[in-house]
């Protein structure tokens, strides 16, 4: 009976090993494969196996099975029981790949790349196609997560010949998304390999402006690279561009309030929008017809869209009123593509036909974060207004700053001017310094000359404030022994008034601002200011937004299909995020000598 049981056990072990192993070659070793057995059965067999190699193979199979069942912690614990060095090359590649996959399940891209640096990966080309696909895929994902975009694209290029049908198409789209996200300077290549073909396609599309120019660039590239994978099957995003180019925009509805509290804002937006329209007509461009609708008289959005469709409208620009934008965002679908000139609530889902554009202060907070990083700064404190607006700005700055490795040491809400000195003193811990000095005097007796010293770990101040607040803040910083700390601010403090005294009070403050207010040489701006002088001041931001709404209108589909594309507008450099909100990047200036001095751009 015992002999029979031993024979049965031996037969079961042989069957399990046969089920969970394949042999690419005798020198490479056998590979585990998903077996017809449970994790527990595999581990039990591994525990009783007399062959270390068989036991390792069974545990690799069990770990892989746990991974495929999404029990990642258990898979990692099992894999830890398998020593890598005694394994044969195929098993080492398999274990390293599985280790990388588990690391990526924990969002640990560097750990994944470390696992994939094992010497056995040099023989990946000798492995079965299924293992190569897994290894190239996780390697690409890890490199992308680590910010090594071009290297990630190279991994996907190597993966491509192993795929077919839908998987091949999805990989093509992934390669395109990677190379299209690279700045133009990283796309320059003199090679003639497959990756060089991809980068030259991305550069050709990026260098073209309009949809028509981009389509011509794609066609020319395909003629030059007829055998390239992207020429044989265009990425989905470029196919969509072709469709967009064949559907020109001929009529726009401009939906703005002509009465009520927002009528003045709407007038500036409308005048900027129409100025851009007339300039396009004067330049001989095929400008769409514009029909203006009064949103302050709308009783039903459904009725408005029915009327707009009956009028032949293809795109709606507006509304401006936030309650109306929130209503539109609540629709599952919209009858017409719509570029709202305000934003719904953050996080509110929206129909695929809704795009949102505005002068969001959050964009400027993120711009401050980006610029400070580019300038090599790492530790910040913040001064923002009390209230909902200040909370939003601070939250946007904190999220972008900390997610990119920066540290926010402290934040203060600006309330009444009388409290400003106290707030700045608390930010810089001056009261603690004064307390230490008094304590020392008490200990040694008598008077001791002691100047308060501020904390030294602050690299810069993030400031969101009005011009009047900023006028008080910079002198207060000087008084509180912190005048040498750089201040990076949003545009709110810039009045564009030309007030030399105000500018002198803010000497040294750096701030982001719209190109409209920093570049007076723009010809369209000059025409608008000549007709509406108020456009030269802070109201000019609204005129710039109107101009940019006109520029964006025919390019919404383009920005959606090619998220890396930008529109160089007068309210900023414009791009579209995955939520179909237009985001702005802004140029920078500094107050110096009672003037506003434009700062050089930094790499983005």
Average pLDDT, the chain: 86
| 362-513+590-598 under CATH 3.40.50.2300, yes or no | yes
Residue ranges of domains in the chain? 7-243, 248-356+520-574, 362-513+590-598
Cross-strand partners of 574: 567, 584
Cα 115 from Cα 98, distance rounded (Å): 9
Using CB atoms within 10 Å of the CB of residue 514, give its burial: 0 to 12 exposed, 13 to 18 middle, 19+ buried. buried
Using CB atoms within 10 Å of the CB of residue 119, give its burial: 0 to 12 exposed, 13 to 18 middle, 19+ buried. exposed
Q: For 382-466, where are the alpha helices, taking DSSP H only?
A: 388-403, 420-427, 430-444
Cα 101 from Cα 128, distance rounded (Å): 18
Q: What's the average model confidence in pLDDT over 556-577?
A: 86
Q: pLDDT value at position 14? A: 39
Evaluate if residue 441 carries a pLDDT over 70: no
Instruction: Tell me the CA distances in angstroms from 544 to 23, 220, 514, one per residue in order.
Output: 66, 35, 8
Is there a contact between 511 and 488 (Cβ–Cβ < 8 Å)? yes
Evaluate if residue 427 carries a pLDDT over 50: yes
Q: Which of 228, 171, 182, 229 is nearest to 205 (CA)?
A: 182
Evaluate if residue 565 carries a pLDDT over 80: no
pTM of the predicted protein model? 0.68
Cα 361 from Cα 342, distance rounded (Å): 12
Sheet holding 315-317, edge to edge: 289-294, 251-256, 315-317, 338-340, 354-356
For the chain, how many residues are written? 604
Between residues 83 and 450, which one has the greater pLDDT?
83
C-alpha of 251 from chain center: 32
Evaluate if residue 451 carries a pLDDT over 80: no
Residue 572: CB partners within 8 Å, gap ≥ 6? 363, 514, 515, 548, 584, 585, 586
Is there a contact between 339 and 355 (Cβ–Cβ < 8 Å)? yes
Q: How many degrees, rounded to 5, is the angle at CA 64 between CA 61 and CA 67?
A: 155
pLDDT in tens, 90-149: 999 999 999 999 999 998 999 999 999 999 999 999 999 999 999 999 999 999 988 899
Domain at 7-243, CATH from 3.40.640.10, 3.60.21.10, 1.25.40.650, 1.10.940.10: 1.25.40.650
Cα 56 from Cα 53, distance rounded (Å): 5
CB atoms within 10 A of CB 97: 27
Q: pLDDT value at position 421? A: 63
Long-range CB pairs of 351-357, under 8 A, 24+ apart, other chains included = 352/580, 354/328, 354/329, 354/580, 355/552, 355/556, 355/576, 355/580, 355/581, 355/582, 356/325, 356/579, 356/580, 356/581, 356/582, 357/545, 357/548, 357/549, 357/552, 357/574, 357/581, 357/582
HSE, side-chain direction, 13 A CA sphere, residue 119: 4
Q: pLDDT value at position 520? A: 87
Cross-strand partners of 354: 338
Which tokens go with 549?
């709404």
Q: pLDDT value at position 201? A: 93
Cα 424 from Cα 411, distance rounded (Å): 10
Long-range CB pairs of 369-372, under 8 A, 24+ apart, other chains included = 369/397, 369/400, 369/401, 369/404, 369/406, 369/462, 370/400, 370/585, 370/604, 371/488, 371/510, 371/512, 371/588, 371/602, 372/401, 372/406, 372/459, 372/460, 372/462, 372/488
Cα 576 from Cα 286, distance rounded (Å): 24
Is there a contact between 195 and 153 (Cβ–Cβ < 8 Å)? yes
Which tokens go with 5?
């049981």
Q: How many degrees, rounded to 5, is the angle at CA 232 between CA 226 and CA 235?
A: 120
What sign does the dihedral 376-381-385-387 (CA atoms) show? positive
CATH T-level topology, domain 248-356+520-574: Rossmann fold (3.40.50)
Q: pLDDT value at position 595? A: 93
Q: pLDDT value at position 392? A: 93
Which tokens go with 60?
């690799």
List the beta strands (DSSP E) in 418-499.
Answer: 460-463, 487-489
Is there a contact between 126 and 28 (Cβ–Cβ < 8 Å)? yes
Do the two domains 248-356+520-574 and 362-513+590-598 of this chain adopt the same fold?
yes
SS3 333: coil
Using CB atoms within 10 Å of the CB of residue 599, give its burial: 0 to 12 exposed, 13 to 18 middle, 19+ buried. middle
pLDDT in tens, 254-307: 999 999 999 999 999 999 999 999 998 998 888 899 999 999 999 899 999 999
SS3 416: coil
């Amino acid at each position: 009976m015992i002999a029979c049981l031993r024979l049965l056990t031996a037969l079961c072990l042989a069957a399990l090993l046969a089920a969970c192993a394949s042999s690419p070659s005798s020198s490479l070793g056998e590979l585990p494969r998903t077996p017809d057995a449970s994790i527990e059965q595999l581990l039990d067999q591994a525990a009783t196996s007399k062959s270390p190699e068989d036991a390792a193979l069974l545990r690799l199979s069990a770990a892989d099975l746990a991974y495929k069942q999404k029990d990642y912690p258990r898979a990692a614990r099992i894999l830890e029981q398998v020593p890598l060095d005694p394994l044969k090359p195929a098993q080492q590649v398999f274990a390293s790949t599985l280790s990388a996959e588990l690391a990526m399940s924990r969002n640990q891209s560097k750990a994944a790349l470390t696992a994939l640096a094992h010497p056995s990966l040099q023989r990946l080309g000798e492995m079965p196609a299924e293992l190569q696909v897994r290894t190239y895929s996780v390697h690409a994902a890890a490199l992308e997560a680590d910010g090594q975009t071009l290297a990630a694209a190279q991994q996907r290029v190597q993966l491509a010949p192993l795929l077919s049908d839908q998987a091949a198409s999805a990989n093509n789209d992934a390669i395109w998304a990677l190379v299209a996200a690279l700045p133009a300077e990283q796309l320059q290549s003199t090679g003639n390999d497959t990756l060089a073909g991809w980068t030259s396609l991305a550069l050709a599309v990026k260098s073209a402006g309009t949809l028509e120019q981009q389509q011509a660039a794609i066609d020319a590239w395909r003629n030059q690279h007829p055998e390239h994978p992207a020429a044989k099957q265009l990425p989905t995003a470029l196919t969509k561009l072709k469709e967009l180019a064949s559907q020109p925009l001929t009529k726009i509805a401009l939906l703005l309030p002509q009465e009520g509290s927002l009528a003045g804002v709407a007038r500036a937006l409308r005048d900027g929008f129409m100025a851009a329209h007339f300039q396009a007509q004067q330049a001989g461009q095929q400008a769409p017809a514009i029909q203006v609708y009064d949103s302050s008289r709308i009783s039903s959005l459904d009725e408005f869209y029915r009327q707009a469709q009956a009028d032949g409208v293809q795109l709606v620009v507006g509304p401006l009123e936030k309650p109306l934008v929130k209503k539109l965002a609540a629709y599952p679908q919209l009858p017409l593509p719509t570029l709202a000139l305000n934003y719904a609530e953050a996080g509110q889902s929206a129909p695929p036909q809704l795009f949102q554009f505005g002068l969001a202060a959050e964009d400027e907070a993120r711009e401050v974060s980006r610029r400070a990083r580019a300038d090599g700064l790492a530790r910040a404190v913040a001064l923002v207004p009390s209230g909902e607006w200040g909370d939003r700005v601070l939250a946007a700055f904190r999220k972008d700053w900390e997610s990119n490795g920066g540290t926010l040491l402290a934040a203060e809400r600006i309330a009444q001017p009388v409290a400003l000195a106290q707030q700045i003193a608390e930010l810089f811990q001056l009261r603690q310094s004064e307390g230490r000095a008094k304590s020392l005097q008490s200990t040694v007796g008598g008077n001791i000359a002691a100047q308060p010293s501020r904390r030294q770990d602050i690299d810069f101040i993030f400031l969101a404030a009005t011009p009047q607040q900023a006028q008080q803040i910079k002198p207060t910083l000087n008084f509180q022994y912190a005048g040498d700390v750089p201040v990076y601010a949003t545009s709110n403090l810039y009045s564009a008034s030309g007030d030399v005294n105000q500018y002198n009070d803010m000497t040294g403050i750096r701030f982001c601002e719209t190109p409209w207010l920093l570049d007076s040489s723009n010809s369209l701006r000059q025409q608008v200011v000549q007709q509406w002088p108020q456009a030269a001041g802070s109201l000019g931001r609204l005129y710039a937004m109107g101009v940019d709404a006109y520029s964006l209108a025919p390019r919404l589909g383009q920005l959606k299909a090619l998220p890396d594309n930008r529109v160089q507008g007068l309210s900023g450099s414009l791009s579209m995020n995955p939520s179909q909100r237009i985001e702005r990047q802004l140029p920078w200036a500094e107050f110096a000598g009672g003037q506003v001095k434009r700062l050089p751009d930094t790499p983005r």
